[in-house]
Amino acid sequence: MWRKNPEIIKARRSDATYGISMAIPFSSEKHDEHYKYYDNEDKIYRCKDVFCVFLEESEMVKTNEVISTSTRPMSKATEQMFIKIYSTPNTGVQYVVDKRGNSTVTKIGQIVIDVPNPDKLPEFRRTVDTTMDFSGTEIQAKAKYHATGKKLKLFVTFFLLNTEDKSFKIFSNRLLIVFPCCMDY
């Protein structure tokens, strides 16, 4: 039905919870002390391994609806950003690993963004807007510098689990993440 007439689908329901891992400023009200660390470059405490949810399981996504987040390189010297994409059938997951170091989510892919820094700007001036579109049969991603609005070179790798032998197959492309994520409605 989708291939013959994509306009017939007005919304899709997510089959899982999708998100990325981030290190964000630590809040004693929101975060567990176990995940707290000191960021020497920014001189603040951060919370590592936070599961930043883009889309909850069973959430409706309208056609052409996009989800955006802003990220930045970890340091001034960083020239590539690696954004890991995770999935889980559960809702309410706060961290990508538990206190024992076991994964609480499944890594389904990774976005690699080239962020050259010829002007040696500090990382806080190198914010990148990343946009993901979950509304189609495939997840699409785009990235651009926040300050300049320039589109950045984006490379996506996705891992598909072979259910027979539990091995992963790796698929790569330049702009399109090929991974079925939603059910039609």
The per-residue pLDDT for range 115-169, each reduced to its tens digit, is 888 788 887 788 888 888 776 666 778 888 776 778 876 766 666 544 444 434 4
Q: Give the residue, 128 or 76, on which the prediction is more confident.
A: 128
**What is the tens place of the pLDDT at every residue in 16-67?**
898 999 999 999 999 999 999 998 888 999 999 999 998 888 888 777 778 8
C-alpha to C-alpha distances, 152 to 8, 67, 128, 155, nearest whole angstrom: 32, 17, 9, 10
The model's pTM: 0.76
C-alpha to C-alpha distances, 35 to 38, 91, 98, 161, nearest whole angstrom: 10, 20, 9, 28
Give the model's pLDDT for residue 136.
67
Residue 124's CB: how many other CB atoms inside 10 A? 11
* Number of domains forming the structure of the chain: 1
* CA atoms of 137 and 133, how far apart (whole Å): 10
CATH of the domain at 163: 2.60.34.10
Whether residue 66 lies inside any domain: the answer is yes
Give the model's pLDDT for residue 8.
66
Whether residue 104 lies inside any domain: the answer is yes
Give the model's pLDDT for residue 159.
64
Determine the structural domain holding residue 119 and report its residue range.
10-21+52-184
Nearby residues of 102 by Cβ (< 8 Å), 6 or more positions away: none
Give the model's pLDDT for residue 69.
83
**Tally of residues, the chain:** 185
22: its two tokens: 């981030």
Give the model's pLDDT for residue 173.
36
For 129-133, the CB contacts below 8 A with 24+ separation are 129/68, 129/69, 129/70, 130/68, 130/69, 130/70, 130/71, 130/83, 131/66, 131/67, 131/68, 132/54, 132/66, 132/67, 132/68, 132/177, 133/64, 133/65, 133/66, 133/67
Whether residue 140 lies inside any domain: the answer is yes
Whether residue 92 lies inside any domain: the answer is yes
Helix (H, G, I), strand (E, B) or coil at 53: strand
